[in-house]
């Protein structure tokens, strides 16, 4: 069951990232949820509405879904930078 859930999360993340990149013209590196949080924080009213809709959609799973998605993206990016430093620093 864990493998199925992990695979499903990966598929949903891939679709979300693809939609963010191909439909909205944003980065493949962000899910729609993370993008919605970031854009809303930057003052974009349309993205604030999207963030609110996404948060309501995922409210059964976790409160403040978009903020948590953004935090997870930051964690992954920082982990990648840390690994890069380990490889490149003598």
3-state secondary structure of 86: helix
Query: What integer pLDDT is reported at residue 67 of this predicted model?
Result: 97
Task: Give me the chain's average pLDDT, please.
Answer: 92
With 70 as the cut, is the pLDDT of residue 15 above it? yes
pTM attached to this predicted model: 0.83
Query: What integer pLDDT is reported at residue 62 of this predicted model?
Result: 87
Query: What integer pLDDT is reported at residue 90 of this predicted model?
Result: 65
Binning pLDDT at 50, 70 and 90, where does residue 70 land? very high
The mean pLDDT value for 40-67 works out to 95
3-state secondary structure of 64: coil
Q: Which residues, including other chains, have CB under 8 Å from residue 34's CB and lie 6 or more apart?
A: 66, 69, 70, 72, 73
């Amino acid at each position: 069951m864990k493998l199925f859930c992990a695979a499903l999360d990966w598929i949903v993340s891939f679709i979300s990232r693809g939609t963010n990149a191909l439909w909205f013209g944003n980065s493949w590196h962000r899910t729609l949820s993370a993008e919605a949080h970031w854009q809303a924080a930057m003052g974009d009213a349309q993205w604030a509405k999207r963030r609110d809709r996404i948060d309501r959609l995922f409210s059964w799973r976790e409160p403040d879904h978009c903020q948590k998605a953004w935090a997870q993206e930051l964690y992954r990016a920082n982990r990648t930078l840390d690994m890069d430093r380990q490889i490149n620093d003598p």
